[in-house]
Chains A and B, each alone.
Chain A
Amino acid sequence: MKPPALAERVGEHLPDVWQSRGEVTVVVPRGELIDALVRLRDQPDLAFGFLCSLTATDHPGKDPRFWIVYELRSVEHAHRLRVKVGLAADDPHVPSVTRLFPTANWHERETWDLFGIVFDDHPDLDRILLPDDWEGHPLRKDEELGGVGTRYHGAFIPPVDERTMP
């Protein structure tokens, strides 16, 4: 389905939908996420059964602060949809979609690792990219880039112009 028809079709059940730059995006409240994804998967003309990507963006100072972004694709019809869920800063919890899409397992672990979003009912929510004893969630906007001044296990790397020969 082309984006205009797709937006109309999706908008029948999920009203907060818009098109931009050839893509269709729909915003779903957190409590209705699982039902919406099941409906999007099971209806034969939509058939969104393939989860391509799951990530988050951080907008500190705005409400909602975190947006969880699901990129869905249909293998039968070759169309795409973006589903977004907004989370407040003090409540970064969202239900895990691992039961529906087993591929979400590592994606959700990565989002937890880098952003600190807790996925409820995830089978194994551990850090995946950073060491297990890392503190903080680096991709949040209030965390600094690091490199210069990173402290880990007691080691401290000074800026380049302050390093001297031992």
Chain B
Amino acid sequence: MPVERVEGHLTGKRPEEIEEEVRRGVLLTSLDKAVSWARKQSMWPATFGLACCAIEMMSAGAGRYDLSRWGMELFRASPRQADLMIVAGRVSQKMAPVLRRVYDQMVEPKWVISMGVCASAGGMFTNYAIVQGVDTIVPVDIYVPGCPPKPEMLMFGILKLQEKVRTQGTFR
């Protein structure tokens, strides 16, 4: 049976070049994995606690439910030094531009967890004053429902985010 030749990105290259390509691919994959692992291991949240969920977020960072098990106890006040924004609480119309501004000040790569139903979808406050979901303002990676979510629920959301970061490629 005749073999059909299909063009690929290595077609027509000399053997040394192909070896170089393979080596670089292996290097990049390992670097990819290493960088993603490092990113998820020590994500620093920016303080964006607004309402009741902020108290549960502080409880999650305190002694019993310890966020520093995953390197996250360091809540950075300055958004330029943070890479995770946990929007904890209800976002009012007056606060929405502030939220967007803080998000814009964060440096890539950045992730957003929307904690609680008020941040995810407006919660029980379907009225004039609350933004019905912060995903209308910033792109959200993980939604954690609850009113307020127990610290264990927030930790589950954070672990899911870490999975997402670990499997997300950087250089391809």
Chain A interface (Cβ < 8 Å from any Cβ of B): 130-131, 134, 138, 143-148, 150, 152, 155, 157, 160
Contact = CB atoms under 8 A, between A and B. Distances in A.
Given A145-B127, A147-B122, A152 B136 contact: no
Contacts of B136: 155, 157
Contacts of B129: 130, 138, 146
Given A147-B132, A157-B132, A152 B93 contact: yes
* Interface size, B (range): 10 to 19
Closest 3 CB pairs of A and B: A146-B128, A147-B126, A131-B94
Q: Is the interface of A mostly helix, strand, loop or mixed?
A: loop
B126 A145 contact: yes
Contacts of B125: 147
B121 A145 contact: no
A157 to B, nearest CB: 5
Nearest to B94: A131
B99 to A, nearest CB: 13
Contacts of A160: 121, 132
A131 B132 CA distance: 17
Contacts of A155: 136
